[in-house]
Chains A and B, each alone.
Chain A
Amino acid sequence: MNLLLKKILLPLADFTLEVDIEVRDRITAIFGPSGAGKTSLLDLVAGLRRAQSAFIQLDDHVLTDTAKRRSVPTHQRGIGYVPQDLALFPHLSVRQNLLYGCKSGAPADPLFAFDRVVDVLEIQPLIARGVTALSGGEKQRVALARALLASPRLLLLDEPLASLDAPLKAKIIPYLTRIRDEFRIPMLCVTHDRLEALTLADNIVVLVNGKILQTGAVLNVFNRPANAEVAKLVGMETIQPGHVMDVNGGLATVKIGKATLTALAPSMKPQEVFACIRGEDVILQHDNASTTSSVRNRLFTRVVALRDEGALVRVELDAGFPLHAFITRPACAELALREGENITALIKAQAIHLVPR
């Protein structure tokens, strides 16, 4: 997929949405706080909203070109859209909802055959029911299936997990990744949740107040925020791919780089994960013998760099993987940290967040 969003200008209530990007990856997260213009951007791509200026092209189809007064109507765009409130048709049964977007006759693409979509999303038992009788997670799956059955060339997801509680989120995520893998359909996914972005997306676009602050591979953006604003949004200072080797008593043993850490096991027991550690959760101390403590992870590290960030110092460490710690300036002075020196880093198991990848 190649989605061009060029010269986009859309005045909104508090700011103007200004976007000029090219989206290539299979799943791109549009990431930003609520009210950043994310949904408006999806509406533009779907043709539900007119921009002051816009050039939108999906592969070789020009969808919108305000300079030439061209705009393909929404129903001819072939773009699936699952909005945040799902918009299931309340007067139709689940089956009628699912069939609403099916082209008459056989679908052009056997990939999106009815039985296959229903199988992948496991909604067979729901089909005869009414829409209002479904639970939140069931509604989500039906809405996803309905969008897929229209054989879209691109899928737009608006906060697909925001309305679900944690256990339900854990249940829906595998369905989303399954859609990504089985239907090989490109998706634009709006989210304000960094863990969601990390789990689902290959690429990320950081959008704040209508402006794009950074784009790139998720890991790059999260590990190397372009500026303080992005850093504040993404929050986590360390995000590293890891491999769960063992789960025992609710604790997971994770191999990250050359190090092995103990973390709380996530609810869905994935093998491949991202380990996320906040800089303020990392404690530094000079190793004085074998003091026992409640801290599960004791890492012997080397200081790579020290960076002043206001009242705090960002300490970049080599712990067998790149690890960032945030400490106060007096603490830094007391520890007499210098580049190249060795220091012990302590991290509690519950401070390491494992996110499936």
Chain B
Amino acid sequence: MTAEEWQIIWFTAWVSALSTLAILPFGLALAWALARRDWPGKSIVETLVSLPLVMPPVATGLILLKMFGRHGAIGGFLHDTLNFDVIFTWRAVLLALGVMSFPLLVRSARVAFEEVNPRLEQIARTLGASPWRVFFTITVPLAARGIIAGMILAFARALGEFGATIMIAGNIPGKTSTLSLTIFQDVQLGQDEHAFRLLGASVIFAFAAVWCSELLLRRKRKIL
């Protein structure tokens, strides 16, 4: 393994983990609102959130490129007022991974929230607990298995993301190159040996993630 390969592995791992953590609060809030409340436009939001799952990732990437580019609505604003660029930086990788894995987290967490008996939350409130306390001490712990499963799915999706990332982050060595992008590029350039080493790293990575999640879930099951 060369220093450059380690850098790619390390960057992929932490940007995937960071994107999973970054979408967690929004994902949980939205999943809860979908599971527990009725509001106008709910079905539209529901559909919008799931779109990245069914649309070609490259298409999602193009939409993000148009929105966050210097001439896009959001990207233009960020550039003009805060001098803050997203496209073709590591922040674009984070954005692509977050958007692509968001639906997986929301779907898992939503099902998990729906399975929590609302009576438990109501009775917790009669015991003097504020809505926030009920959420963090009753709802989240009882939905923990589904939430953890959703986070692992999101993390795994982020590790392998390709289409949207290449659209908005490019493949800049040392800046935005992830495992998937580099493997693709290496094969294109005929550097098979290099690609296989990274392939091995991906397999170990995937194995460790799934194995850890199974362990976690098994322990959780014992508690419940």
Give the B-binding residues of A (Cβ under 8 A). 43, 46, 48, 73-81, 83, 85, 87, 89-91, 100-101, 103, 146-147, 150
Contact = CB atoms under 8 A, between A and B. Distances in A.
Given A75-B128, A75-B129, A100-B127, A89 B120 contact: yes
A141 to B, nearest CB: 16
Contact of A89 (B122, B124, B128, B130): B124
A91 B223 contact: yes
A121 to B, nearest CB: 16
B142 A91 contact: yes
Contact of B126 (A46, A85, A90, A91): A46
Given A75-B130, A81-B126, A87 B224 contact: no
Contacts of A150: 126-128
Contacts of B223: 91
Nearest to A130: B223
B141 A74 contact: no
For the residues of B in contact with A, the DSSP-based class is helix
A75 B171 CA distance: 53
B124 A100 contact: yes
B119 A87 contact: yes
Interface of B: 117, 119-120, 122-131, 137-138, 141-142, 223-224
Contacts of A48: 122, 125-126
Contacts of B123: 81, 83, 87
Contacts of B120: 87, 89
A81 B129 CA distance: 13
A43 B123 CA distance: 10
Given A89-B138, A90-B224, A91-B142, A75 B117 contact: no
B139 to A, nearest CB: 11
A306 B120 CA distance: 53
B119 A91 contact: no
Contacts of B224: 90-91
Contacts of A147: 126-127
7 contacts: A75-B125, A75-B127, A80-B127, A83-B119, A85-B119, A101-B129, A147-B126
A78 B126 CA distance: 7
Contacts of A78: 128
A74 B125 contact: yes
B29 to A, nearest CB: 20
For the residues of A in contact with B, the DSSP-based class is loop
A78 B141 CA distance: 25
A91 B141 contact: yes
A101 B128 contact: yes
Contacts of B137: 100
Contacts of B142: 89-91
Interface centre among B120, B127, B129, B130 (most CB of A within 10 A): B127
Nearest to B220: A91
A64 to B, nearest CB: 15
A85 B122 CA distance: 12
Contacts of A146: 127
Nearest to B133: A75
Contacts of A85: 119
Contacts of B125: 48, 73-75
Contacts of B129: 75, 100-101
Contacts of B124: 89, 100
B143 to A, nearest CB: 10
A87 B125 CA distance: 12
A80 B141 contact: no
Nearest to B142: A91
Contacts of B127: 75, 80, 100-101, 146-147, 150
Nearest to B127: A101
Contacts of B122: 43, 46, 48, 74, 81, 87
B17 to A, nearest CB: 26
B141 A77 contact: no
A89 B124 CA distance: 9
A79 B126 contact: yes
A294 B32 CA distance: 67
A103 B117 contact: no
Contacts of A83: 119, 123
Contacts of A43: 122
B119 A103 contact: no
A143 to B, nearest CB: 9
A289 B137 CA distance: 75
A14 B224 CA distance: 38
A226 B176 CA distance: 82
A46 B128 CA distance: 11
Given A90-B142, A91-B223, A80 B119 contact: no
Contact of A103 (B128, B130, B138): B128
Contacts of B131: 75
Nearest to A152: B126
Contacts of A89: 120, 124, 138, 142
Contacts of A75: 125-131
A78 B127 CA distance: 8
Interface centre among B117, B123, B138, B223 (most CB of A within 10 A): B123
